[in-house]
Amino acid sequence: MPTPDRTSLAEIVEAGRELLERDGLDGLTMQAVATRVGVRAPSLYKRVSNRDALVALVADATLRELGDSVDAAAGELERDPRERLREMARAVRAFARRRPVAFRLIFAPGAELRLDPDSLARSSASVVAVSGELAGEEHALDAARTFTAWANGFVSMELAGAFRLGGDVDRAFEFGVERLADAVAASGAR
Protein backbone atom coordinates (compact mmCIF):
# COMPACT_ATOMS: atom_id res chain seq x y z
CA MET A 1 0.00 0.00 0.00
CA PRO A 2 1.70 3.21 -1.22
CA THR A 3 2.66 6.06 1.08
CA PRO A 4 2.75 9.68 -0.14
CA ASP A 5 6.34 10.92 -0.61
CA ARG A 6 7.48 13.02 2.29
CA THR A 7 10.51 14.46 0.53
CA SER A 8 12.34 14.41 -2.83
CA LEU A 9 15.87 14.11 -4.21
CA ALA A 10 15.92 17.81 -5.09
CA GLU A 11 14.95 18.77 -1.55
CA ILE A 12 17.63 16.48 -0.12
CA VAL A 13 20.36 17.96 -2.33
CA GLU A 14 19.26 21.48 -1.46
CA ALA A 15 19.36 20.66 2.25
CA GLY A 16 22.84 19.20 1.71
CA ARG A 17 24.04 22.39 0.05
CA GLU A 18 22.77 24.56 2.87
CA LEU A 19 24.29 22.38 5.56
CA LEU A 20 27.60 22.20 3.70
CA GLU A 21 27.92 25.98 3.62
CA ARG A 22 26.72 26.46 7.17
CA ASP A 23 28.50 23.64 9.00
CA GLY A 24 31.24 22.48 6.66
CA LEU A 25 31.69 19.07 5.09
CA ASP A 26 31.70 17.43 8.52
CA GLY A 27 28.34 19.03 9.25
CA LEU A 28 26.79 17.48 6.16
CA THR A 29 25.62 14.34 7.94
CA MET A 30 22.83 12.05 6.88
CA GLN A 31 21.06 12.74 10.14
CA ALA A 32 21.25 16.52 9.73
CA VAL A 33 19.97 16.29 6.16
CA ALA A 34 17.16 13.98 7.23
CA THR A 35 16.08 16.30 10.04
CA ARG A 36 16.11 19.24 7.65
CA VAL A 37 13.83 17.55 5.14
CA GLY A 38 11.57 16.13 7.85
CA VAL A 39 12.40 12.46 7.66
CA ARG A 40 14.59 9.88 9.46
CA ALA A 41 18.09 9.13 8.22
CA PRO A 42 17.39 5.63 6.87
CA SER A 43 14.75 7.04 4.52
CA LEU A 44 17.40 9.01 2.62
CA TYR A 45 18.75 5.74 1.27
CA LYS A 46 15.64 5.41 -0.87
CA ARG A 47 16.83 8.36 -3.02
CA VAL A 48 20.60 8.34 -2.61
CA SER A 49 22.86 5.33 -2.42
CA ASN A 50 25.08 6.68 0.37
CA ARG A 51 26.63 9.82 1.81
CA ASP A 52 29.40 10.04 -0.79
CA ALA A 53 26.82 9.98 -3.57
CA LEU A 54 24.96 12.82 -1.89
CA VAL A 55 28.17 14.82 -1.56
CA ALA A 56 28.81 14.25 -5.27
CA LEU A 57 25.34 15.55 -6.13
CA VAL A 58 25.94 18.62 -3.99
CA ALA A 59 29.28 19.22 -5.73
CA ASP A 60 27.73 18.79 -9.15
CA ALA A 61 24.92 21.23 -8.44
CA THR A 62 27.49 23.77 -7.30
CA LEU A 63 29.67 23.22 -10.35
CA ARG A 64 26.70 23.90 -12.63
CA GLU A 65 25.84 27.05 -10.73
CA LEU A 66 29.45 28.22 -11.06
CA GLY A 67 29.34 27.51 -14.79
CA ASP A 68 26.19 29.60 -15.13
CA SER A 69 27.74 32.49 -13.20
CA VAL A 70 30.80 32.49 -15.43
CA ASP A 71 28.66 32.26 -18.55
CA ALA A 72 26.61 35.23 -17.43
CA ALA A 73 29.78 37.20 -16.72
CA ALA A 74 31.20 36.36 -20.14
CA GLY A 75 28.44 38.53 -21.55
CA GLU A 76 27.96 39.60 -25.14
CA LEU A 77 30.12 38.28 -27.94
CA GLU A 78 30.75 41.77 -29.28
CA ARG A 79 32.62 42.99 -26.22
CA ASP A 80 36.38 43.17 -25.92
CA PRO A 81 37.63 39.67 -25.09
CA ARG A 82 40.05 41.01 -22.49
CA GLU A 83 37.21 42.70 -20.71
CA ARG A 84 35.16 39.52 -20.87
CA LEU A 85 38.03 37.47 -19.42
CA ARG A 86 38.38 39.98 -16.61
CA GLU A 87 34.69 39.74 -15.76
CA MET A 88 34.82 35.96 -15.79
CA ALA A 89 37.70 35.93 -13.33
CA ARG A 90 35.83 38.29 -11.05
CA ALA A 91 32.76 36.07 -11.28
CA VAL A 92 34.78 33.05 -10.12
CA ARG A 93 36.09 35.00 -7.17
CA ALA A 94 32.65 36.32 -6.23
CA PHE A 95 31.21 32.83 -6.45
CA ALA A 96 33.92 31.43 -4.17
CA ARG A 97 33.07 34.06 -1.60
CA ARG A 98 29.41 33.23 -1.81
CA ARG A 99 29.95 29.48 -1.44
CA PRO A 100 33.44 28.97 -0.02
CA VAL A 101 32.95 25.47 1.31
CA ALA A 102 31.36 24.15 -1.86
CA PHE A 103 34.03 25.84 -3.97
CA ARG A 104 36.74 24.00 -2.07
CA LEU A 105 34.80 20.77 -2.42
CA ILE A 106 34.79 21.12 -6.20
CA PHE A 107 38.41 22.03 -6.71
CA ALA A 108 40.01 19.72 -4.18
CA PRO A 109 37.60 16.89 -3.72
CA GLY A 110 38.39 13.80 -1.73
CA ALA A 111 39.75 10.90 -3.71
CA GLU A 112 36.36 9.35 -4.25
CA LEU A 113 34.54 12.33 -5.76
CA ARG A 114 34.37 12.27 -9.55
CA LEU A 115 32.80 15.33 -11.13
CA ASP A 116 30.33 14.78 -13.94
CA PRO A 117 32.12 15.28 -17.31
CA ASP A 118 29.06 16.97 -18.78
CA SER A 119 28.97 19.52 -15.95
CA LEU A 120 32.68 20.13 -16.40
CA ALA A 121 32.28 20.68 -20.12
CA ARG A 122 29.41 23.12 -19.64
CA SER A 123 31.23 25.06 -17.00
CA SER A 124 34.31 25.56 -19.18
CA ALA A 125 32.64 26.27 -22.52
CA SER A 126 32.65 30.03 -22.30
CA VAL A 127 36.22 30.16 -20.99
CA VAL A 128 37.36 28.11 -23.97
CA ALA A 129 35.45 30.42 -26.31
CA VAL A 130 36.94 33.63 -24.97
CA SER A 131 40.41 32.07 -24.77
CA GLY A 132 40.12 31.11 -28.42
CA GLU A 133 39.37 34.70 -29.35
CA LEU A 134 42.44 35.90 -27.51
CA ALA A 135 44.92 33.14 -28.26
CA GLY A 136 43.72 31.85 -31.60
CA GLU A 137 41.75 28.68 -32.15
CA GLU A 138 44.68 26.30 -32.14
CA HIS A 139 45.67 27.45 -28.65
CA ALA A 140 42.16 27.83 -27.25
CA LEU A 141 42.26 24.80 -24.99
CA ASP A 142 45.78 25.36 -23.63
CA ALA A 143 44.99 29.02 -23.02
CA ALA A 144 41.72 28.20 -21.28
CA ARG A 145 43.52 25.74 -19.02
CA THR A 146 46.18 28.29 -18.18
CA PHE A 147 43.61 30.92 -17.31
CA THR A 148 41.33 28.57 -15.39
CA ALA A 149 44.24 27.15 -13.41
CA TRP A 150 45.31 30.63 -12.39
CA ALA A 151 41.81 31.79 -11.44
CA ASN A 152 40.94 28.70 -9.42
CA GLY A 153 44.39 28.58 -7.87
CA PHE A 154 44.27 32.20 -6.81
CA VAL A 155 40.83 31.91 -5.30
CA SER A 156 41.61 28.60 -3.57
CA MET A 157 44.75 30.04 -2.01
CA GLU A 158 42.86 33.12 -0.93
CA LEU A 159 40.18 30.97 0.72
CA ALA A 160 42.84 28.83 2.36
CA GLY A 161 44.40 31.98 3.82
CA ALA A 162 47.66 31.28 2.00
CA PHE A 163 48.40 34.93 1.16
CA ARG A 164 50.01 36.05 4.39
CA LEU A 165 53.07 37.94 3.28
CA GLY A 166 51.28 41.26 3.37
CA GLY A 167 50.61 43.30 0.28
CA ASP A 168 47.23 43.99 -1.25
CA VAL A 169 45.47 40.80 -2.32
CA ASP A 170 42.92 42.65 -4.44
CA ARG A 171 45.73 44.32 -6.31
CA ALA A 172 47.48 40.97 -6.78
CA PHE A 173 44.25 39.64 -8.28
CA GLU A 174 43.91 42.48 -10.77
CA PHE A 175 47.61 42.24 -11.56
CA GLY A 176 47.11 38.56 -12.29
CA VAL A 177 44.12 39.05 -14.59
CA GLU A 178 45.95 41.58 -16.72
CA ARG A 179 49.13 39.49 -16.93
CA LEU A 180 47.17 36.37 -17.79
CA ALA A 181 45.23 38.16 -20.50
CA ASP A 182 48.51 39.48 -21.95
CA ALA A 183 50.16 36.10 -21.73
CA VAL A 184 47.36 34.29 -23.46
CA ALA A 185 46.97 36.97 -26.11
CA ALA A 186 50.71 36.94 -26.82
CA SER A 187 50.52 33.28 -27.71
CA GLY A 188 48.01 34.11 -30.45
CA ALA A 189 50.50 36.42 -32.08
CA ARG A 190 53.04 33.74 -32.93
Partner DNA sequence: ACCTGAACACCGTTCAAGT
Write out the residues near DNA by the rule CB under 7 A: 1-3, 5-7, 28-32, 39-43, 45-46, 50-52
Which of DNA, a copy of itself, none does residue 39 bind to, with CB < 5 to 8 Å depending on kind?
DNA
19 three-class SS: helix
The mark string for 101-130 relative to a copy of itself (x by CB under 8 A, - otherwise) is x--x-xxxxxxx-xx-x--xx--x---x--
Residue 42 near a copy of itself by CB under 8 A = no
Cβ neighbours of 12 (radius 10 Å): 24
Residues 145-164 binding a copy of itself (CB under 8 A) are: 145-146, 148-154, 156-157, 159-164
**Rounded-to-integer distance, Cα 68 and Cα 9, Å:** 22
Residues 76-95 binding a copy of itself (CB under 8 A) are: none
Which of DNA, a copy of itself, none does residue 59 bind to, with CB < 5 to 8 Å depending on kind?
none
Please report, for residues 158, 165, 172, the alpha-carbon distance to residue 168 in angstroms, rounded to integers and kept in the order given: 12, 10, 6
**Rounded-to-integer distance, Cα 104 and Cα 13, Å:** 17
- Check if the beta carbon of residue 58 is closer than 8 Å to that of residue 102: yes
Sequence-distant (6+) residues with CB within 8 A of 181 are: 82, 85, 86, 134
Binding site for a copy of itself (CB under 8 A): 24-26, 100-101, 104, 106-112, 114-115, 117, 120-121, 124, 128, 139, 141-143, 145-146, 148-154, 156-157, 159-167, 169, 171-172, 175-176, 179-180, 182-184, 186-187
